[in-house]
Amino acid sequence: MTTASVKNSSGNNKDEEVKIKNRSNQTNEMLKKMNDNKFDWALFKRFVKIIIILYSKPVIPLSLFLILFGNGFAQTYVSKFTGILLADIYASFSTGDKSFFLSSVLKAGFAVGGSALLAAVINFIVSVMAWNWRKSLCLYIQDVYFKKSLFYKILAFDDRIDNPDQRITSDIDNFTTLLASIVSQCITGPMVVVYYTYLCYTTIDWYAPLIVYGFFFFGYFINKLVMSPMVSINYLQDKLEGDFRSLHQRVRNFAESIALYSLSKEKSPEKVNNDCCESNDEESDESCDESTTIINRKKNKGSQYYKNKNSTSKKINDFIDKLSGDNKTKEHELLVEEEQAKIQFEALLQNKKRVIFWQLGLNTTSDLFTYLSPIANYFIIAIPVFFLSTKIVLQPGDVTVQSYNCIMLASGFSQYINVSQSISDLSGYISRISTMIEVCKKIMDDSSLDAEITKLNEKDNINTTKNALNINNSDTIINTGLSGNISLNHGDSITLDDVTYFTPKGTQLYSRKNLLIMGPSGSGKSSLIRVINGLWPFFKGNIDRPENGDMFFLPQQPYLIFGTLEEQILYPFSKKQKRIPKSIMKELFQRFEIDYLLDRERFIKNSAQINDLTHNWLNQLSPGEQQLIAIIRLIYHKPKFALMDESTSSIPQSIEERVYSVAKELDITTISVGHRISLLKYHSTLLRFDKDKNWYLEDIIDQDNHNNDSNKIAEDSVF
């Protein structure tokens, strides 16, 4: 026992070191990959594709665009009178005319009030545009994401899209909000530039707009140099934020399980030997002594790929650490989840340092040109006064008007400088959103499996004419993307004919019957259920089964939605499509001895004083109660076939017997996966897998005293 314990401890240490090193390598690879997401022609083409989606129904967005254009023009025109009225106010001081001063202030007040109102309208239109664009883009991506269970294929098989939930929710929201703001500035900016270019030319001379143009074009190119690295850094920051959030969501969803497992943790941190300091640490001049713990090792590794990046990055990291104090907390025994969170958070913080560093440069250049513009403005006005051979004397009112015109022209260019900062953020969102769209379409259109990433393919070849395709008395043929076909029939049978399928781990098996499936873990029991449902592809053979509406799948871990108990039973339908009478609900719940849940729901409703209830039952019900909810759902829908993947594993055998009895009464044929011997008496045929991937098809003759000599058929499996 002691030897085994020491061996496992050492193995765990090595495993943790490998995990940390892999995390560092993955982040380095991500940094290299993100460099391809700079704002270039390829990214611009991606942006155009998104714009096409935003304007798929162009009437409303174009009308808002025109309203925004009109308001921008009106605001620009009104601002001209503000400059003239300010000149009148200055003139009134020199003349001492009180009435002229008061009238000028009153007029200026109306002009400024009009400008403020127009600015508020512009902000309102920008918000409406962002809302409309988010609606169009989110509905489009959701339509693709939920089409033919594509979300399952992405989450289960494809690692090209990280955190799809973040991309659909926050990324789209941030993208459309930022885009609407940029569009607003790009509409009003040219108006201001064109109009005040003309005014500067007429009130000063040709060199005035030319100097302003040169000043801000120079500023744009400086900002462009600083902005380019920000695209990849912001992209990576979004990914790291999503990973960190996803980890904490997982903790929230499995809080009880994590808490129970944590009770078996040891209470003292394990030490790591000196030999843990190898090549990577030597390169970074780091050292570890006998007191080094796994916690410190993780932290060192987590920041290593940034500290080795270059001396400048290391200096800025150290500087920020000193500013923040970088307080080290007292070591304590960490949960696995906390260890993972620390590693991910360390990577997030390290990249955030880079964001802060580059944002400092971008803000410095942007603000520098913004604050230098008034000085440049007065220099332009001073040229005819001090630097030309024919010197002139300007009146205070003339200085005010000319200065105002130059400032407004500079403000028009300043909007473009501000836009350059927003584009660096926008580029990251463009990459993440367009990547999701491209990968979703690729999975739907692809007809082959990638050599490295196992993907599901559902390129359909469906003939809706009932008698046009008739293979084995089937009505519809679905091409799974490989050489196997699923044929849909209106009959009462499921037939597997010479089917070869594989799991993501490469296991291949044969099957020929619909039956009770038993065998060791990892032998392919649940995989066969997924193949029958069409979720997984298979190499060859044919599956002849009823249409999807005649089949119902019950997983071992039931899926409960946010909603009432009635909505749980109606799922996958909604209240808009169906309703269940209260008497039927009561009868169903009483039959399986969980009618107390109806009383609990009624109590919660009355306590909250609401007419309807949206409740997270997943966190409130035991595993057995969750399985019974799923079984009531099955009984209510009364399909022809029920595919049950250990769906009664958490309920008492007496209730389990009632489940199969009710299914028999309703003529529901059950195809079950399970380990309980008690399941044998509810089925007539057994498909048994052994640890060597062989399968045996047996008729269950004596249900009370089953033996292995009953009509056994055995064949070797294919690997």
Q: What is the DSSP string of 335-351?
A: PHHHHHHHHHHHHHHHH
Judge if 127 and 226 occupy the same domain: yes
pLDDT tens, 700-717?
A: 765 444 444 433 433 333
Q: What's the chain's average pLDDT?
A: 70
Q: 418 in a domain, yes or no? A: yes
The answer to whether residue 307 is domain-embedded is no
d(CA 450, CA 153): 13
- Asked whether residue 317 is domain-assigned, the answer is no
Banded model confidence at residue 175, pLDDT cuts 50, 70, 90: very high
> Stretch 234-262: mean pLDDT, rounded?
72
Question: Is the pLDDT at 695 greater than 70, yes or no?
Answer: yes
Same domain, yes or no, for 535 and 558?
no
* CATH number assigned to the domain comprising residue 212: 1.20.1560.10
Domain boundary among 445, 469, 504: 445
Q: Give every CB contact of residue 471 below 8 A, 6+ residues apart in sequence.
A: 477, 485, 487, 542
Question: Does 622 fall in a domain?
Answer: yes
Residues 532 and 601 in one domain: no
**Whether residue 397 sits in one domain with residue 498:** no
Instruction: Single out the residue of 230, 223, 233 nearest to residue 367, CA to CA.
Output: 223
Segment 39-47 long-range contacts (CB within 8 Å, at least 24 positions apart): 39/227, 39/228, 39/231, 39/423, 39/424, 39/427, 43/231, 43/427, 43/430, 43/431, 46/430, 46/431, 46/434, 47/430, 47/434
Same domain as 667, residue 585:
yes
At residue 486, the pLDDT reads: 55
Q: What is the pLDDT of residues 52-82, one digit of tens each?
A: 888 876 656 677 777 777 877 787 777 777 7
Domain contains 272:
no
Which range has the worst mean pLDDT, 295-304, 351-360, 531-540? 295-304
Comparing CA positions, the residue from 445, 430, 426, 452 lying closest to residue 160 is 452
- Inform me whether the pLDDT recorded for 632 exceeds 90: yes
Domain boundary among 387, 411, 445: 445
Higher-confidence position of 530 and 484? 530
Over range 405-434, report the average pLDDT.
Answer: 80
In a domain, 575, yes or no: yes
- Rounded mean pLDDT of 528-551? 71
pLDDT of residue 666: 87
Q: Both 99 and 137 in a single domain?
A: yes
Are residues 207 and 82 located together in one domain of the fold? yes
Binning pLDDT at 50, 70 and 90, where does residue 262 land? Answer: low
Q: Quick check: 306 pLDDT over 50?
A: no
The answer to whether residues 212 and 360 belong to one domain is yes
Element (H, E) at 560: none
Q: What angle do CA 593, 610, 634 make, to 5 degrees?
A: 35
Q: Which residue has the tokens 């020929």?
A: 512
Range picked from 253-257, 557-561, 629-633 for highest mean pLDDT: 629-633
Let me know the angle formed at the C-alpha of 206 by 203 and 212, rounded to the nearest 5 degrees: 90
Residue 250 is inside which H or E element, if any? helix 207-253
At 65, which helix (H) or strand (E)? Answer: helix 59-95
Which residue do the tokens 């007496």 mark?
Answer: 654
pLDDT of residue 101: 86
Q: Examine the domain organization and report whether 538 and 558 are in the same domain.
A: no
Do 108 and 214 lie in one domain? The reply is yes
- What would the mean pLDDT of 628-653 be, rounded to a whole number? 88
Residue 110 in this model has a pLDDT that exceeds 80:
yes
Question: Cβ(185)–Cβ(268) under 8 Å?
Answer: no
Provide the pLDDT confidence category of residue 30 given band limits of 50, 70 and 90: very low
Phi (first) and psi of residue 222, to 5 degrees:
-65, -45
Domain boundary among 417, 445, 473: 445
Burial 204-225 (b: 16+ CB within 10 A, else e): beeebbebbeebbeebbebbee
**CA distance linking residue 520 with residue 694, whole number of Å:** 11
**Token pair of 282, please?**
């030597």
Total structural domains within the chain: 3
pLDDT at 13 over 60: no
Structure confidence at residue 113 (pLDDT): 85
Residue 196 in any domain: the answer is yes
**CATH number, residue 571:** 3.40.50.300
Cα–Cα distances (Å) from 168 to 147, 428, 429, in that order, read: 15, 14, 11
Torsion of CA 345, 350, 353, 358, to 10 degrees: -120
Backbone φ, ψ for residue 695 (5° rounding): -125, 150
pLDDT at residue 677 greater than cutoff 80: yes
Query: What are phi and psi for residue 613, nearest 5 degrees?
Result: -130, 125
Cα 124 off chain centre by: 28
Residues 535 and 562 in one domain: no
- The answer on pLDDT for 602 being more than 50 is yes
Percent of the chain with pLDDT over 90: 5
> Has residue 650 been placed in a domain?
yes
Q: What is the pairing mode between strands 485-489 and 476-479?
A: antiparallel
Q: What is the model's pLDDT at position 629?
A: 92
Band of pLDDT at residue 137, cut at 50, 70 and 90:
very high
Give the domain extent around 76. Answer: 38-254+353-445
pLDDT at 339: 74
Residues of the chain with pLDDT > 70, as a percent, come to 64
Residue 507 has pLDDT above 50, yes or no: no
Give yes or no: residues 494 and 593 share one domain.
Answer: no
* Those residues with Cβ within 8 angstroms of residue 335's Cβ, 6 or more apart along the chain or in another chain: 258, 262, 265
